[in-house]
Amino acid sequence: MSDQDAKPRSARATGSARLTDVARVAGVAPMTVSRALNRPELVSEATRERVRRAVSETGYVPNQVAGALASSRSRLVALLVPTVAHALFAEVVQTVTGLLVPRGYQVLLGLVGYTPAEEEGVVETVLSRRPDGIVLTGCHHSAVTRQRLAASRVPLVEIWDMSDDPIDMLIGFSHHAVGRAVAEHLLARGYRRLGVISADDARAERRIDGLRERLAEAGQQALPLRRVGTPSSMPWGREMAAELLDHHALEAIVCSSDILALGVIAEAQSRGLSIPDDLAIMGFGDSSYAAASFPALSTVRIDGATIGRRAAEQLLERMARPQFERSGAVEDVGFSLVDRATT
C-alpha cells in the first residue's frame, strides 16, 4: 500500500541514509549536500550548517564507492610491497600511509611476494579498483605487468630499486652498488674468503652480483653461496652458516638480511669462533636490533622512511595534476654502510 510496497526491481541493499535523504531533511537539493560535504567553500555558511545538522540527524555516512564511480576518482592508493613482515617494508608502508591518509587518500595494501607471478595477479586485481596512484616495490616486473600498468595510465612510483627504464617515477637505491660497497668494505678490512647467505629474491641477487663483481676486480673468484626460502629467519641463517663453515674456510659471511646474520652470529658463537677475527659478518637493513646484538652487527642501512616519504610526495604531486604525464622522475636515495663490531 505504501510507497515501499511498490517493490523495485533491485531493492536498496542497506537501510542507511543516502545523499538524497540528507537533502530532504536539510531542505536542499542533493547536489548542494554533495557540495557542502566535498567543496564546502562553494556553499554558504547557512546552508553548510543545515546540511551538517541533517547529516548528523540522519546518521549519513557518504558512499565513496558511488562517489568514485561518478567522479572517476577513487581516492585510493595501492601500495604493493613484497611483505610487511620485514621491518624495512613495514617502515615504507607506515610512512606512505601516514602521508597519504591526511591528504584524503586510503591505502589498498597488496603483498606481492618475491616472484613476478605473484605480483602479476595482485597488480591485475589492484587495477580493477581504479586506484588514483600506485606505489610498487621493485623494478623488475613481468612484461604483462609492465604493459598493464603503463596502459592503465595510473600515476606510479616504483621504489626500492634503480633502473634505467622506470615505468613512471622511481625512488630507490642501487642494489648492485650495495653489493660493491659491501665487498669494498670487507676487502678493505682484509677479509678475502667470503661466503653468502641470501634469500631467493631478485634484488638480493643483484647485490650479490655487485659483490661478486668487486671481488673479481680484487682477484677473488670463489663465492660460496647458500639460498634460503622466505621469510628469512634466524634458524635459516644458522643452518646455512653451519653448511658454509663445514665446507669452506671462510673469513666472512654476507647475509641478505639482518635476521639471517643473527643466525650466523649464533652459529659462530656456538662453534667458539671469535667475531670478527675468525669470522666477519655483514647483515642488510639495519634493523632495530642490529645495534643491540652481541657483537653489534655491521650492516647496510636503508632509509625506508625517506623512500616512503619521497614516494608519497611524488605521487601526491602527480595526482594533483589534471592529466597523467609520465615524468620519469628518478631519485636515488642511496644507502649507508654501518660498521659495527662484526666486521
Partner DNA sequence: ACACTGAATGATTGCGCTATCATTCTGGCG
Partner DNA sequence: CGCCAGAATGATAGCGCAATCATTCAGTGT
Residues that bind DNA (CB under 7 A): 8-14, 18-20, 27-32, 34-35, 37-38, 42-44, 46-47, 60, 62-63, 66-67, 69-73
Q: Which of 30, 90, 200, 313 binds a second copy (CB under 8 A)?
A: 90
Cα 343 from chain centroid? Answer: 29
Residue in 29, 31, 42, 109 binding a second copy, rule: CB under 8 A: 109
**Cell numbers placing 279:** 669470522
Which partner in DNA, a second copy, none is near 143 (CB below 5 to 8 A by kind)?
none
> Which strand ranges, in their side-by-side order, compose the sheet holding 225-228?
225-228, 194-199, 252-255, 280-282
Which neighbouring-strand residues pair with 198? Answer: 227
User: Which residue from 61, 117, 150, 216 is in contact with a second copy, where contact means CB under 8 A?
Assistant: 61
Question: Among 171-179, 187-195, 277-285, 288-296, which window interacts with a second copy (CB under 8 A)?
Answer: 288-296
Question: Is residue 93 at the binding interface for a second copy, with CB under 8 A as the rule?
Answer: yes
Q: Counting every residue, how long is the chain? A: 343
Specify the DSSP class assigned to residue 297.
P
* Interface of this chain with a second copy, residues 234 to 263, rule: CB under 8 A: 234, 259, 262-263
Q: Taking a C-beta distance cutoff of 8 angstroms, is the pair 201, 230 a contact?
A: yes
Residue 152 CB, nearest distance to DNA (Å)?
13
Residue 136 backbone phi and psi in degrees, to 5: -130, 130
Rounded Cα distance, 316 and 257, in Å: 31
Residue 119 is a binding residue for a second copy (CB under 8 A): no
Q: What does DSSP assign to residue 128?
A: T
Amino acid identity of residue 297, one-letter, is L
Our measurement of the distance from residue 27's CA atom to the centroid of its chain's CA atoms, rounded to an integer in Å, reads 47
Work out whether 233 is an interface residue with a second copy (CB under 8 A). yes
Binding site for a second copy (CB under 8 A): 13-14, 16, 59, 61-66, 68-69, 72, 74, 79, 83-85, 87, 90-91, 93-94, 97-98, 101, 106-111, 122, 124-130, 148, 151-153, 233-234, 259, 262-263, 265-266, 287-289, 291-294
